[in-house]
Amino acid sequence: MTKTKGPMSGFRDFLASELIPRQRMIETIKKVYESYGFLPLDTPAIERFETLTGKYGEEGEKLIYQFEDHGGRKVALRYDLTVPLARVVAQYKDELVLPYKRYQVGNVWRGESPQAGRYREFLQFDADIVGAKSSLADSEIVMMMADAMQALGVGALISVNDRRILDALSEKLGLDSDASRKLFLIIDKTSKLGKDKVLEEIKIEFGDKVSELVLQFLSISGSSEEKIDKIREVLGSSVALLEGISNLGEVFSILKKSGYGENLVVFDPTIARGLDYYTGIIYETYLLDLPEIGSVCSGGRFDKLISLLSDGKVDLPAVGTSVGVDRLFSALEKLGKVEKVRTNSKVLVVNFSGIDPSNYSLLVKKFRAAGIAAEVYYDSSKLDKQFKYADSLGIPWVVMFGEDEIKKGLIKVKDLETGDQKLVNLEDFISSFKK
């Protein structure tokens, strides 16, 4: 047999054994987001090229899947979910109720080099609040992330910072934006490399004066609230810094009083987030038992981006978070938090030859009506083939209803895990099953 070609490199098929737990993870997070009143949104995979162009920088632009459609129009596949959000907010501004809290789960496409092990089609999962500026809005996103991790059953620590603190640092150091970006990138590695290595690197790159101030900055200690207070002593009192500090102070006060203590959320002045467009609070989420994989859920406030992405059509503040679906799922797998399921089916009814198949249809119907997913084998094949089917899919129970059982009005049930087999009443089995 010749090897059949699979999906193209960078693309994936999801068979049930991966898709069922992935869907469950996504549903779990969705449920948390919906409990906060977030609304679902769906937008087309294809957008006008003009909607996307100029939004992702030079490097990003190259990765856009673009082509001509049947009408000769230049179109492109969705590159992220933020540009469509900006388009939607601009387009439906008269009917959307503000603040607009939406989540969207959808594939995006990027012509990444597949050698890098990157996917060309991957799921993004964003939640954003558009049209609210308060520290309460900022806090809710953080609490929602913490709740999502809790719902998934993983320990996580959310690290929070504010872009205005980093900006004050670079201002105090007199660095231009390129130098600042370089500095933040190094500082961002503190949790990975440790303070000493980071300071050493900064000394080499920027000299003693810079590394001394950064040392002071990194040496701020205490609880999150104490650290936030001390930042001012190190960085001065620009209006933007004071705004940032005051907002962070409010956020940490709300978080603490709402039961999200230092074990769940900490202020960490070293986290920077790569993206330039954040204007206020920023945060990242690290799994306690797998911090090395990096943040699984990140975001921040981007008060100027909606205006930029909507080509100036609407100007609304926004704060949000994005789940790294692939990274989070593989982390959950590594942590043993993914239930290995290959099917939702609980029962296979064996098909005996010579028996009217409606006996089996009626039987599975009763299981299904009781909320128990059940299947009947379609052919009266050899018993071992039928058992193998159940076994391969991980269906836990095989039910036999042959001539003998039909006469007795009972079913024979085999537990494939233990091998135990017993003759029981259908109703009894169903009620024991539901317990």
What does residue 13 show for φ and ψ, rounded to 5 degrees?
Answer: -90, 140
Cα–Cα nearest to 130, from 79, 89, 161: 89
**Among 325, 277, 346, 219, which Cα is nearest to 55's?**
277
Work out whether 45 is an interface residue with a second copy (CB under 8 A).
Answer: yes
Residue 255 CB, nearest approach to a second copy (Å): 8
Q: Does 54 bind a second copy (CB under 8 A)?
A: no
Which residue, 136 or 204, has its beta carbon nearer to a second copy? 136
Residues in 352-371 at the binding interface with a second copy, rule: CB under 8 A: 356-358, 360-362, 364-365, 368, 371
Q: Does 12 bind a second copy (CB under 8 A)?
A: yes
Peptide bond between residue 7 and the one before it cis (omega within 30 degrees of 0): no
Nearest-angstrom CA–CA distance, 269 and 252: 14
Site string for a second copy, 64-93 (x = CB under 8 A): -x-xxxx--x-x-x---------xx-xxxx
- Of 140, 268, 284, 405, which one interacts with a second copy (CB under 8 A)? 140
Residue 207 makes CB contacts below 8 A (sequence gap 6+) with: none
Q: What is the DSSP letter of 338?
A: S
Instruction: Report the site for a second copy in 283-342 (rule: CB under 8 A).
Output: 310, 313, 342
Please report how close the Cβ of residue 62 comes to a second copy at its closest, in angstroms.
8
User: Can residue 276 be called a binding residue for a second copy (CB under 8 A)?
Assistant: no
Query: Least distance in Å: CB of 74 to a second copy?
Result: 11
State the burial class of residue 133 (Cβ atoms within 10 Å of its Cβ: 0-12, 13-18, 19+). Answer: middle
Of the candidate residues 121, 171, 229, 333, the single one contacting a second copy (CB under 8 A): 121
CB closer to a second copy out of 4 and 221 = 4
> At its nearest, how many Å lie between a second copy and the CB of residue 298?
21
- For a second copy, which stretch binds (CB under 8 A), given 192-200, 321-329, 387-395, 414-422? 387-395
Provide the minimum distance between the beta carbon of 168 and a second copy in the complex, in angstroms, as a whole number: 25
Instruction: Write out the DSSP string of 171-217.
Output: HHHT--HHHHHHHHHHHTTHHHH-HHHHHHHHHHHH-HHHHHHHHHH
Q: Which stretch binds a second copy (CB under 8 A): 15-23, 167-175, 196-204, 295-303?
A: 15-23
> Quick one: how far is CA 53 from the chain centroid?
26
Distance CA 33, CA 143 (A): 10
Residue 396 backbone dihedrals phi, psi, to 5 degrees: -75, -30
Q: Which SS3 state, helix, strand or coil, does residue 66 take?
A: strand
Residue ranges in 143-182 that form contacts with a second copy under rule CB under 8 A: 143, 147
Q: Least separation, in Å, of the C-beta of 322 and a second copy?
A: 19
Our finding on whether 136 is near a second copy (CB under 8 A) is yes
